[in-house]
Amino acid sequence: MLRLPQAAALRENTASLTSGDMIRPILIHPDPRLKKLCDPVAEITPDLLSLADDMLTTMYDAPGVGLAAPQVGVNRRLIVVDCAKTPDAPRPLVMFNPEITWASEDLSTYEEGCLSIPDQYAEVERPAEVRARWTDRAGEVQEEQFSGLWATCVQHEIDHLNGKLFIDYLGPLKRQMITRKMEKLKRERARSAAAQA
């Protein structure tokens, strides 16, 4: 999701929340796994809770403020977000089967980025406020209204669960340009990995 200055600070202040968890590799666009509709979570298992912890660790390490399961290669409807503005008060949310139940007519524009599309940013217009419903780690249904960056982040991550990237909101030329840059990045990383092997 969005890379912001506070994300790096949050990383330092959330070590105790995510200690012992694994940093997972993040898929880079274009990758067919990022374009699939994700399967609902029927039961919150220990494996899925472990995945959620790994996703938080991966998100904070990146650093970012949101991450969706398909970005780490898991085709399930699970996102994690933390858009807390103060580094000393993180608010990580783990959201199974999140859905938008209401969106405002008022719109807002944020310069969005994505951990699966590194170092590429573009302005995207979305509803300024949304209400979301999801199941939490304990299996309880939660509902909350979000505004500002939180609203943008929740919408961006739920888009991932539906196989949609923020660049899908852009015109075809800009989208193709970013995709070509990502293809080049992937080739460079593959060459670098081969050289180190």
- Give 191's contacts (C-beta < 8 A, 6+ positions apart): none
Query: Which pTM does this prediction carry?
Result: 0.90
Catalytically annotated residues? 157
* Domain-wise residue ranges, the chain: 5-170
Averaged pLDDT of the chain = 91
Options 3.90.1150.10, 3.40.50.620, 3.90.45.10, 3.30.365.10; which CATH number does 5-170 get? Answer: 3.90.45.10
Q: Tell me: pLDDT of 20 over 80.
A: no
Burial (Cβ within 10 Å: 0-12, 13-18, ≥19) of residue 56: buried
pLDDT in tens, 53-75: 999 999 999 999 999 999 999 99
Q: Tell me: pLDDT of 12 over 60.
A: no
User: Coil, helix or strand for 62?
Assistant: coil
pLDDT in tens, 143-173: 999 999 999 999 999 999 999 999 999 999 9
Cis peptide before 63 (omega within 30 of 0): yes
Residue bearing the bigger pLDDT, 166 or 5:
166
